[in-house]
A = this chain, B = another copy of it.
Amino acid sequence: MSNFKVLPILDPEAAGAVAPCCPPLTERPLTAEEAEQTARMFKALGDPVRLRLFSLVASHEGGEACVCDISDVGVSQPTVSHHLKKLKEAGLLTSERRGTWVYYRVEPSVLAAMGRLLTSAALN
């Protein structure tokens, strides 16, 4: 009976960083706190290997991929694992174990939010 699990609600990092953050960069100056939050996401995509991993997951069918499908990016397996963890901590990916394999999935709302940050009012 001690065998039930805590629901995977989302780690606090991801949950906090995602939802309400930030008007377009062109609308008004970001506050220090907003910048801190938002920079975390940009930083996560600021490494070539991580960006490729993210793109591999995002472009995979269903927006989700097994680690085994995407680990051919020229670095060792521990490094891949490390980068996927970083992407997860930044709230850009979520992961789920299904049997032997672990699947990573993009968080579409975050993608959209980051897009909004950059797109709207390309000039003001």
Contacts and interface: CB of A to CB of B under 8 A. Distances in A.
Interface of A: 25-30, 32, 35-36, 38-40, 42-52, 54-56, 58-59, 61, 63, 73-74, 106, 108, 111-112, 114-119, 122-124
Nearest to A60: B29
Given A63-B124, A119-B116, A122-B108, A39 B25 contact: no
A112 B119 contact: yes
A44 to B, nearest CB: 8
Contact of A32 (B29, B39, B44, B48): B48
B52 A123 contact: no
A123 B87 CA distance: 18
A52 B32 contact: yes
Nearest to A58: B26
A33 B115 CA distance: 22
